[in-house]
Amino acid sequence: MAVELKGAFHTGLYRNLFLEYGYAEADIDSKLEQAWQELFYGDEDVRIYYQVGEDMAYMLDTGNLDVRSEGMSYGMMMAVQMDRQEEFDRLWTFAKTFMQHTEGRYKDYFAWHCRPDGTRLSQGPAPDGEEFFAMALFFASHRWGERAEPYNYADQARKILRACVHQGENGEGDPMWDPATKLIKFVPESPFSDPSYHLPHFYDLFALWADEADRAFWREAAQASRAYLHTACHPETGLSPEYANYDGTPAPVQRHGDYRHFYSDAYRVAANIGLDWAWFREDPWQVEQSNRIQRFFRDIDVADYRRYTIDGQPFDEPALHPIGLLATNAMASLAADGPDARRVVELFWQTPLRTGVRRYYDNCLYFFSLLALSGNYRIYR
C-alpha cells in the first residue's frame, strides 16, 4: 500500500492506464509506435516533422506554417521519451542554430517562432519552450550521455535555466520567472502568467539538476506553481483561463486578444496536473481537480467542444483543437479517481490522430497523452 501513495519519481513505477482498462500490451505498444511513425514520417496530411539537410529538422505548426519553440521543444521531448536520438539531435541543432539568441536582452532564450528556413518572425521568447527544452535536454543527458557541444545536453539545459532565473540582473533583459512570486511569466516582460505553463513536476527535477545555486529557487517554484493552480482553476468547473494574474484571476484583455477564457492554451493544464500527480503525488487537490474537469465535459460531445468562460458558459465559437482537448482530459485520468476517468481514456483510445491543416497542436497533445497513459512518459535520471 505504501508504494501506491508515492509517485513514479519515488517508486520507478509508471501506471499504464490502457493496460489497467483491459487493452492488450501489444496493441498499446503498436498504437504508440504507429503514432510516432505517422507524426514523424507519415503522409503529408498527418506528419509534422520535416528534415532539413544532413543534420537538422523542424516541427511545423501546420495551422500557421511556422516553427515554434513550443513545437521544437515538444518534439525533443517526444524523441527522448521514444529513445530516438537522431530526431532529437536534428531538432536541437535547428533550434540552437536558428532560434536561440547569442546576445542581447534575450541571450540564451529562443525566438518563439520562425519560418521553416530559420528566418525569425519574432525575436521574443515564450517560456513554455524554454522549460521543455531544458527538461528534454536533461533527460537526453541521462539517457544517452554527453557529447561535444552542442550535444553536451546537461550543460545546455543549465545555460537555459540560468537565463530564465537571472536574466537582467547584470544588464538588459528580464527573467522568465517572477522573482517575488516564483511564478512563470507569459513572456519575460509581462506582469502575469499562463496557467498552462506551470510544470511543477519539471521544477522539482530542475531542483536536482540545475546550477546548485539555483536549486532552492526551483524547489520554491514547484511549491508556488502547485499552489497557484488552486487559484487559477475554477472551483466548480475546473476550467482555467489562458492568461492569469499572479493571484490566479483572469488577466486583462491584451492588445492581441482576449485570453480570459478556457481555450486552446488552457487545455494543457489538465494534462500537466495529471503528469505531476503521476510523477510526484505531492498535492491531493489534483485528484478532485481532475475529477472536476472531467465531470464538466461528461455530457459534451467532442464535436461540440467550444470556447468557455471559466465558470462554464459556452461561446458560439467551436474549439479550434477539439482532439487536443480530449487528449488532455484523458491525461487527467492519471490523477482522477471519479466515474469519468475510464470513460475519457476509452474515448481517447478510439479517437485517431487529427488530419489536415490544424493537426499540429492537437497531435502534440495527443502524443503526450499516449505516452502518459501507456506509462511511457518517464523521468530519466
Yes or no: say if 86 and 71 are a contact pair by the CB < 8 Å rule. Answer: no
Q: Is 282 marked active-site?
A: no
Residue type, 344: V
What is the dihedral sign for C-alpha 50, 52, 54, 56? negative
What DSSP string runs through 160-216?
HHHHHHHTTTTSS---SB-TTT--B-SSTT-SSB-GGG--HHHHHHHHHHS-GGGHH
Judge whether 265 counts as a catalytic residue.
yes
Question: Which long-range contacts link 201-208 to residues 24+ away (Cβ below 8 Å)?
Answer: 201/272, 201/275, 201/276, 201/279, 201/280, 202/131, 202/134, 202/135, 204/9, 204/280, 204/282, 205/135, 205/138, 205/379, 205/381, 206/134, 206/135, 206/138, 206/161, 208/381
Residue labelled with grid coordinates 527522448: 80
Cis preceding-peptide flag for 179 (omega within 30 of 0): no
The residue from 38, 70, 283, 340 that is catalytic is: 70
The catalytic position among 194, 265, 276, 283 is 265
What residues act catalytically? 70, 265
